[in-house]
Amino acid sequence: MKNILVTGGTGYIGSHTTVELIGQGFEVIIIDNLYNSEAEVIDRIHKITGIRPHLEVLDLCNQEKLDAFIKKHKDISAIIHFAAYKAVGESVNEPLKYYRNNLLSLINILGVMKLYGIPNLVFSSSCTVYGQPEKLPVTEDSPLQPATSPYGNTKQIGEVIIKDTTHSNENIKAISLRYFNPIGAHPSSLIGELPRGVPENLVPYLTQTGYGIREELKVFGNDYDTPDGSCIRDYLHVVDLAKAHVVAVKRLIENKNKKNYEVFNLGTGNGVSVLEAIRSFERVSGVKLKYRIVGRRPGDIEKIWADPSFANSELGWKTLSSLDEAMKTAWEWEKVVRSNKL
């Protein structure tokens, strides 16, 4: 049985990935500082899988503590590194907080990999590295644009740090996964996205509005150069996204990677507008959503969706869930969270 270290494993994508890893027979160790998640997520992973992964509450920026922990767990086959701050708006106001946390944690992870001979890394990157692409859909070869937020910049710099490390050290292999917009929750409704305070992202805002926690959803602009004027994204089910991590980790462990450092886009290949997402929510929930068109949100990309064909052919991975299916799980999760049934 292979041991996988998942950083940020109690978070949104990390918890879903842990469930999929356990389902595929991996042993998972989680490191998380619980900055944006709850330790109870471990209980729920246990409920879903029947297995309770070890949770080490540890801040990855603390090199000494990380070092001491890894020293005791030298049999780790791969690290999946999710742990990071991710609020775009906050990163603009507090850039140092973002650069310090997201980059130092990554550097420390790569440091222990080198020191203790851990050979494989899967990194959470983002389609934010493409900015507003000139050509759509976006392939992995599309030019990267200067980041529009410190958060986005930490993903770009993070990719460079990993690339340089794999080039300088042939014992370290890595895959960066550039996520498009993950949404939805596990079909058990035991884990899902749990934003603290007012959500920044569309789908949690949408489901909270549907439930009556928010008065109305503000649609940020309907004057974009898109068919209905609202922004377009590529929304993928978080369980599909989680499965891609298992495939990526296996590729590295089984030495099936073609280069020491590889990058994959993870999306559905379908562009969906904000207004289409609202209609999907209304369809699956039966709830009429209160929304209002307001001005554009500064820094928003007009339209972006993935060309996932490289991930399809090379990883043998593709998304299986439709927008409606993913939206339905987001709605079921919202209802479970609000009715205190967790």
In whole angstroms, how close is the CB of 87 to ligand UFG at the nearest point?
Answer: 8
Q: How many residues bind ligand UFG (CB under 6 A)?
A: 20
Catalytic residue among 12, 98, 130, 151: 151
The CA distances from residue 225 to 127, 211, 229, in Å, are 20, 31, 6
261 has catalytic annotation = no
Q: Tell me which of 86, 237, 243, 328 binds ligand UFG, using CB under 6 A.
A: 86
Rounded distance between C-alpha atoms, residue 163 and residue 126, angstroms:
15
Q: Tell me which of 66, 202, 244, 311 binds ligand UFG, using CB under 6 A.
A: 202
Q: Name which of 242, 331, 188 is nearest 22 in CA terms.
A: 242
β-strand pairing of 173-179 with 261-266: parallel
Q: Name which of 126, 176, 125 is nearest 304 in CA terms.
A: 126
Name the one range near ligand UFG by CB under 6 A: 11-19, 115-123, 188-196, 212-220: 212-220
88 binds ligand UFG (CB under 6 A): yes
218 binds ligand UFG (CB under 6 A): yes
In whole angstroms, how close is the CB of 256 to ligand UFG at the nearest point?
Answer: 27
Q: Tell me which of 219, 252, 275, 311 binds ligand UFG, using CB under 6 A.
A: 219
Report whether 90 contacts 152 (CB < 8 A): no
Q: How far is CA 150 from the centre of its chain?
A: 17
Footprint on residues 261-300 left by ligand UFG (CB under 6 A): 274, 297, 300
Q: Tell me which of 37, 108, 128, 176 binds ligand UFG, using CB under 6 A.
A: 128
Positions in the binding site for ligand UFG (CB under 6 A) = 86, 88, 126-128, 152, 181, 200-202, 205, 217-220, 231, 233, 274, 297, 300
